[in-house]
Structure 1
Amino acid sequence: MNLSRRSFLKWSATLGAMGTGLMSLTACSQNASLTGSEAASAGEQIIPTASTQDCGGRCLIKAHVKDGVITRISTRGAYEEDEPGANMKACLRGRSYRKHLYHPDRLKYPMKRVGKRGEGKFEQISWEEAIDTIAKETRRIFDQYGPESRYCNVGTGDTGGVIYRMGLGGRFLSATGGHLPLYNSVSMGNTGTATPYVYGVAATASSLDSLKDTKLVILWGHNTTETIFGASNYYFRQMKNRGCKFICVDPRNSNTAVAFADEWIPLLPTTDNALMDAMAYVIVSENLHDQAFLDQYVQGFDEEHMPEGVPAHESLVSYLFGKKDGVEKTPEWAEAICKVPAETIRRIAREYATTKPAALIQGWGPQRHSCGERTALGATMLASITGNVGVLGGWAGGYIGLSRKGCVGLPDVPNPYPGAIPTLSWVDAIECPEKVTPAEGLLGVDKLNSPIKMLLNLAGDFIANQNPDINRTIRVLEDESLVEFIVVSDLFMTPSARYADILLPGNTFFERYNIGATWNNGDYFILSQKIVDNYYESRSEYDWLAEVADKLGAKDVFTGGKTEEEWVRWIVDETRAKYPETLSWEELEKVGISKFHYDGPRVAFQDQIEDPVNNPFPTPSGKIELFSKTLYDMHNPEIPAIPVYVPAWEGPEDELTEKYPLQLIGWKTKARDNSTFYNNPWLQQAMVQEVWINPMDAKPRNIVTGDRVKVFNDRGTTMLQARVTSRVIPGVIAAPTGSWFTPDGKGGCTNGNLNVLTTLRKTALSHGNTQHTSLVEISKL
């Protein structure tokens, strides 16, 4: 529409080169050692930058640019090798960014829907028409229904930047009158909510360099080699070379277990607490616990250290030895539940208790279950009874978050609306808002006076792909009497984009300025630089939201009088004022990365352990609360006061197993970031969408490797290829998450998406994600 002939020819030539003449991923890696002088002589610029994807790492990458086109990507060079833990090499996904940037299927122009919602039928419009339509509908819906009718959904395609697109959507809605916000992370909301009941705060991790002399690490559902969780892989490899023993507890023999584990311990999903309880039983019954530590720092271990007003036999020790229910939590008791042999339980319990120091590090997969909060707290219990909290080389368990320095953020635009809903409640808030009550996680207000009528979905595939129970979700979205207006901005025609009324072409991190903000153990940030022009008519959401806000009289509130680049410069300057070691903008343009300085490793709760009088834990008792009086007073059997085993709904003890006998779990893969990169051709070669099934489950179903199978339950059906392997425990099937939902018109998916099978039912405490709790059956097609 507004594209010059010159721009059209440039992009056509670029895409043609991508298809015919550019190097493979392997070749790019082999040629990534080109020196700066060699690049200069070849007419190239090498520009450091970082992605702002929702990945567990934040790697400095180098874009090789010639004639305004990125010709290849190289990764960390010699000058960073002294600090590899602070600046990781790009993974498989990072090395494939060019295929993402120059993919021929990228959205090129603004479009409006012309068919039924969800059909994917659109026609091209101008940016002027798109902005006018969004402004008109934003004003109409606000005037007719009020602020709570407007909602910006989760956008996991771009949460690794200080300026992130979902945040921009909320900022725009706040600036124009208010909106219904969300809370609670899909990824780790259960852990983040539960952990403060033990320690008083959510962030309980130590820095990875504190593990240098750790003798034993138990990785509990923590698949770092594929998720690239901080700098874990670098440190774990160094530790392994120094003789540290690794044990992986996981239903699946993950790539991390293959890479690091001296032993893989498979268990049934949702039974983690049974294994943890039995380990605690062994430790206490054999007098391997740290009684002095427990006496001084812990509430609730035994009857002598309980809060006032609690009846007898509510302590951890009373539970372990059956003082209340008559059942001792022996390894034999646990074996029947979790399927880990009793002697294995005894051995690993003794090893963990007697190896000093030891670290039990839990990933985020185990907490994405109906029992997720209890599982997260079980790790804190084992760390506490062995005295591994607040000591160098230990690990406190719970949420893997680290208190550290970081960039300042954008100044908030206050939201006039006081309420908020859990992340997974948005479908109810559309279809049956009367069910979204304070008891179900509604905050700030007593009820919702309006259902959601306007939906912004920016850089996210959550509304029709990553959200649980897709079939229910799309039925709601297809009903135009419910949500009246949906705006989607993305790079591709994703499953969620098909449900847009106005569909806009977003741009990549190569086409805008931002700060690559690290999470977990990243003590640095990277300037994410604008390197190339926007692809066709793609635009930053900041720019077009500013134009819509202008039409609604709120541009100055939304922008604060700054462009996106000016805000990024402001963030650098303000961060430098707070932390003088921060590099200047000019320095960042050259080297990309700015590192924060520390005197040494950081150990969570070291101050509380070394000086408890002046540094009590920020809990009601001032101690570690293995027994939480706050949880006890809730009187909810799914939220026990101590982290104990409670059979999960849709778990192995549920009566539903008579109809659906297999537990389904998904895993994050090296080839995707949630569903981002699903259509990247290099990454599709790196991984097959297949479901793992143990030979003991495959044989009676006559399934062999390579068979096309269907996995189904009452919520839906998905079809994919089978792989028969002993790398998954009997009773469990597992498949990669993030494939794109491809409906067959009968409630099924032909492409192996798991979310036609998952549930929108939430956890009891945090009202959080339970996507890994699904009972299914599998059969050969």
Structure 2
Amino acid sequence: MSGDSSAGGTTRTPTTFHWGRYDVLSSGDRVVALEPHPGDPDPSPVGAGVPEVNHAPYRITRPMVREGWLRGDRDPVRGRDRFVAVSWDRALDLAAGELARVRNEHGPTAIYGGSYGWGSAGRFHHPQSQIHRFLAMAGGYTASVNTYSFAAMEVVLPHVIGGGPTSLHERGPSWREITEHGGLVVSFGGMAVKNAQMVSGGPSRHTQTSWQRAAAGAGVGFVNVSPVRDDAADELGAQWLPLRPGTDAALMLALTHVLLAEELADTDFANRCCTGFDRFREHVLGRSDGTAKDPEWAEGITGVAAGEIRELARAIAAHRTVINLAWSIQRHDHGEQPCWAGIALAALSGSCGRPGGGPAAGLGIAEHGTRGQWRIASLPQPPGGVVARIPVARIADMLLSPGETIDYNGERITFPDTRLVYWAGGNPFHHHQDLGRLDRAWQRPDTVIVHESWWNATATRADLVFPVATSLERDDVALGSADSTITAMHRAVPPPADVRTDHAVFAGLAERLGFGERFTEGRSEWQWVRELYDRTRDRLRDERIDLPGFDEFWDAGSATLPEKDMSPDGGSFAALRADPSAAPLATPSGRIELVSDTVAAFGYPDCPGMPVWLEPYERLGTEAAERHGLHLVSNQPKTRLHSQYDGGRTSRESKVGGREPVDLHPEDARARGIADGETVRIHNDRGACLAGARLTDAVRPGVAVLATGAWYDPDADGLCRHGNPNVLTRDAGTSRLAQGPTSGTTLVEIEPAGADVPAVRAFDPPEIVEGRPGDATTDA
């Protein structure tokens, strides 16, 4: 069904990934190269590493069953066992039988459906949609809520402004408005262009750099509030405020103090359009607790000089200012607080609800020039399938402590007794915290079923592994979440002979469990792709947009939608400013809630009813830093998407001695006897990993930067030989409100590893033994 074109024995096939559109060059059944789409002005380099990974020796090409699980033996444990290659019928029978057994004996809550949203840019072959549809039809399951990306924002912002991060994006200032009307962008957590390489659904054109350049060219100033200088592009000429990591809330409160104390605050907007202003003002000025949140107070916490804080506050008041909240600042202990404090600062700045100013979330993280986003049809989900939910970052807690009850956003959630984990899409042994703890928790269920294309740490810790096709091996349709182009994802090469799509796996299981026809609705995969496009076409017709028919679209490879921008300038905050009673927000008061009586009523000591500074469980400048004197920043890599294509050329070439690089300030390296390029051991009380030292003055002294995504590669003692930072991060919730991840609150120490270091084995497949045709030798 592909739309290929051939020349000289090489076939050229257009497709799209999360990091952009490409032409796939293939010869026979092998991918040769990926060439960026000619219309992309700033393509991501990640695509260059895709071809070799598609055919890598660690590709999974047959259904596999863990040998010990077949024998009913828990020793050796998951992650240290051999696998048995079996037929598809045998693997599907085993999985269907185990799903039925667990549901019959323990109920649907005992089945956890794990998935994450970056499995594919396509809307049909979207693993999260496929697994949720299947498990819902199979009788129900336990699911997760929120994301690792911005869980604290997702929960706290609806209490404050009546919508989460994506809502704030659509209501906040666009780059076009900033360029035309703005004067200053103050970005907490920075706005690194590398993070805009990819968006859900894939960008057809990478324009983030050009938007930022246009704003700077129009005279907009930038302030990068981050421990990493490179979180703002050099060409922006941004002022760098290298604060101590995790202290953004204290800095925001001090900036607010200056606005109030020097009578620079927009008290008219605060009184008319906000609720709780009087109580919040009393707290910031120190009248309610005896501690003024002034610049001198903040200097001792943040490490930013009091004079610089005052100057920045005055600049905020003097210019049309954007207060941008990067997602990273809320992945800390008490991560709800900087989100709330940032909204409060924006509300008092004088710019909220005015064109080119006000609060923003993730500005610069995604490919957005305007605020509006179109929506594409996705695989229908039956109602009532989710019978229980947990916060996404609490999976290890759930596995280790069945029956335990936790607080979450005003609710009480009791962890189910999970007997089966079914994972399709995503790699929990990349994005979860304290991987040693997750490894222990992962041993608790009776069965783990995983869909994977490669032998990563999640696959090697499964009992049943279904080999699934990659994006290059199936047809689909995509629409970038920040784009105006629907793209056709043409299959470039066939999958290996014994590899199937996620949908085909679930269809086979559904057939065995008695609902095959209901799951597929009698459609083939190709018919489903057409169906989703046609549903999108029908939906957009209601918006007076006429898309071409499917065949015309498929042959053309894409269809461009008109730009969708929101009005008036200033988003819904402009309407709020104009008349709060006529344009209320979706909060109890209809206004921005500087104080939330709802949150206060929850009675959470770790998240009170207004933005405050709460001491994290560890940070620089405290007694904890005497033992572990470096704060670890584990940011998004620029050479891959999370852990995807870590074995590809782009990611491999960034390694130092084959390990993930860790950036250190030369002063910190010198104090520890560490040379540039040397293998180092990073450790704390939670774990340890090896990495390659890279010295740079682009990080604040006292900070080490180790990007996420190196494939987890522990030795027998738990030392990650490859450099995954999540062996070091604490697995604890942001607060009882959001229960989000707190990977950003991590102190470590670093030392030379010495000459005798183990080799990296992250990409070594497990030992595999053959089963009899249609069966397995070891369970006979």
Name the aligned partner's letter for residue 222 of structure 2.
F
Report the Cα offset of residue 527 of structure 1. Answer: 2.4
Taking structure 1 as reference, are residues 734 and 182 closer, same or farther at Cα in structure 2, changes over 3 Å only? same
Q: In the alignment, is the contact (CA less than 8 A) between 1:48 and 1:589 conserved in 2? A: no
Instruction: Find the partner of 2:194 among 203, 226, 242.
Output: 226
The range that moved more, 756-765 or 62-71, is: 62-71
Counterpart in the other structure of 2:330: 367
Report the Cα offset of residue 440 of structure 1. Answer: 5.1
| 1:775 matched to 2:747 | yes
Alignment of 1:442-461 (within 5 A): 447-448=414-415, 450-461=416-427
Taking structure 1 as reference, are residues 518 and 388 closer, same or farther at Cα in structure 2, changes over 3 Å only? farther
Give the number of equivalent residue pairs: 711
What whole-Å deviation, never above 9, does each CA across 1:734-769 have from its counterpart, x for those lacking one?
Answer: 211111111121121111111111121111111111
Counterpart in the other structure of 1:195: 157
3-state SS of the aligned residue for 1:238? helix
Instruction: Find the partner of 1:632 among 600, 603, 606.
Output: 600
Counterpart in the other structure of 1:136: 97
Counterpart Cα distance in 1 of 2:486 and 2:119:
16
Q: In the alignment, is the contact (CA less than 8 A) between 2:46 and 2:640 conserved in 1? A: yes
Alignment of 1:340-359 (within 5 A): 340-356=304-320, 358-359=321-322
Report the Cα offset of residue 255 of structure 1. Answer: 5.3
Report the Cα offset of residue 408 of structure 1. Answer: 2.1
3-state SS of the aligned residue for 1:686? coil
Instruction: Find the partner of 1:91 among 23, 36, 44.
Output: 44
Counterpart Cα distance in 1 of 2:477 and 2:232:
29
Counterpart in the other structure of 1:216: 184
Q: In the alignment, is the contact (CA less than 8 A) between 2:372 and 2:565 conserved in 1? A: no
Counterpart Cα distance in 2 of 1:751 and 1:623:
49
Q: In the alignment, is the contact (CA less than 8 A) between 1:413 and 1:558 conserved in 2? A: no
Counterpart in the other structure of 1:389: 352
Counterpart Cα distance in 1 of 2:671 and 2:680:
14
Q: In the alignment, is the contact (CA less than 8 A) between 2:249 and 2:612 conserved in 1? A: yes
Name the aligned partner's letter for residue 455 of structure 1.
V
Taking structure 1 as reference, are residues 710 and 541 closer, same or farther at Cα in structure 2, changes over 3 Å only? same
| 1:706 matched to 2:695 | no
Counterpart in the other structure of 1:20: none
Name the aligned partner's letter for residue 739 of structure 2.
H
The range that moved more, 766-775 or 223-232, is: 223-232
Structure 2 residue runs of 5 or longer lacking an equivalent are 69-75, 200-206, 754-780
3-state SS of the aligned residue for 2:407? helix
Name the aligned partner's letter for residue 253 of structure 1.
R
Counterpart Cα distance in 1 of 2:622 and 2:484:
44
Instruction: Find the partner of 2:614 among 622, 646, 657.
Output: 646
TM-score, length of structure 2 as denominator length:
0.86
Name the aligned partner's letter for residue 590 of structure 1.
D
What whole-Å deviation, never above 9, does each CA across 1:216-239 have from its counterpart, x for those lacking one?
Answer: 222221343211166432311222
Taking structure 1 as reference, are residues 221 and 159 closer, same or farther at Cα in structure 2, changes over 3 Å only? farther
Alignment of 1:164-179 (within 5 A): 164-179=126-141
Taking structure 1 as reference, are residues 261 and 152 closer, same or farther at Cα in structure 2, changes over 3 Å only? farther
Alignment of 1:186-585 (within 5 A): 186-202=148-164, 203-205=167-169, 206=172, 207-213=174-180, 214-228=182-196, 231-254=207-230, 256-301=232-277, 303=278, 315-356=279-320, 358-398=321-361, 404-435=373-404, 437-439=405-407, 447-448=414-415, 450-462=416-428, 464-478=429-443, 482-519=444-481, 521-580=482-541, 581=545, 582-585=547-550
Q: In the alignment, is the contact (CA less than 8 A) between 1:438 and 1:447 conserved in 2? A: yes
Counterpart in the other structure of 1:727: 698
Report the Cα offset of residue 395 of structure 1. Answer: 3.5
The range that moved more, 634-643 or 594-603, is: 594-603
3-state SS of the aligned residue for 1:420? strand
Counterpart in the other structure of 2:67: 114
Name the aligned partner's letter for residue 652 of structure 1.
L
Identity %: 27
Q: In the alignment, is the contact (CA less than 8 A) between 1:289 and 1:385 conserved in 2? A: yes
What whole-Å deviation, never above 9, does each CA across 1:177-228 have from its counterpart, x for those lacking one?
Answer: 1111111111111111111111111211144333222222222213432111
Counterpart Cα distance in 1 of 2:535 and 2:495:
28
Counterpart in the other structure of 2:711: 740
Counterpart Cα distance in 1 of 2:237 and 2:636:
19
Counterpart Cα distance in 2 of 1:744 and 1:373:
36
Report the Cα offset of residue 70 of structure 1. Answer: 4.0
What whole-Å deviation, never above 9, does each CA across 1:79-133 have from its counterpart, x for those lacking one?
Answer: x4xxxxxx66430113433233233432111111125321252122111111111
Report the Cα offset of residue 43 of structure 1. Answer: 5.7
Q: In the alignment, is the contact (CA less than 8 A) between 1:222 and 1:364 conserved in 2? A: no
Counterpart Cα distance in 2 of 1:446 and 1:60:
42
What whole-Å deviation, never above 9, does each CA across 1:380-416 have from its counterpart, x for those lacking one?
Answer: 1121111322322124234769563211222212344
Q: In the alignment, is the contact (CA less than 8 A) between 1:248 and 1:257 conserved in 2? A: no
3-state SS of the aligned residue for 2:330? coil
Q: In the alignment, is the contact (CA less than 8 A) between 2:630 and 2:747 conserved in 1? A: yes
The range that moved more, 382-391 or 522-531, is: 522-531
3-state SS of the aligned residue for 2:606? coil
Counterpart in the other structure of 1:14: none
| 1:73 matched to 2:73 | no
Compute the RMSD of aligned alpha carbons.
Answer: 2.5
Taking structure 1 as reference, are residues 569 and 387 closer, same or farther at Cα in structure 2, changes over 3 Å only? farther
Instruction: Find the partner of 2:643 among 660, 675, 678.
Output: 675
| 1:759 matched to 2:730 | yes
Name the aligned partner's letter for residue 392 of structure 1.
P
Taking structure 1 as reference, are residues 568 and 201 closer, same or farther at Cα in structure 2, changes over 3 Å only? same
Taking structure 1 as reference, are residues 255 and 364 closer, same or farther at Cα in structure 2, changes over 3 Å only? closer
Counterpart Cα distance in 2 of 1:389 and 1:639:
25
Structure 1 residue runs of 5 or longer lacking an equivalent are 1-35, 81-86, 304-314
The range that moved more, 126-135 or 655-664, is: 655-664
Taking structure 1 as reference, are residues 778 and 547 closer, same or farther at Cα in structure 2, changes over 3 Å only? same
3-state SS of the aligned residue for 1:64? strand
Name the aligned partner's letter for residue 750 of structure 1.
R
TM-score, length of structure 1 as denominator length:
0.86
Alignment of 1:16-27 (within 5 A): none
| 1:617 matched to 2:585 | yes
Counterpart Cα distance in 2 of 1:681 and 1:758:
28
Q: In the alignment, is the contact (CA less than 8 A) between 2:129 and 2:379 conserved in 1? A: no
Counterpart Cα distance in 2 of 1:523 and 1:88:
16
Counterpart Cα distance in 2 of 1:543 and 1:41:
32
Q: In the alignment, is the contact (CA less than 8 A) between 1:434 and 1:447 conserved in 2? A: yes
Name the aligned partner's letter for residue 115 of structure 2.
V
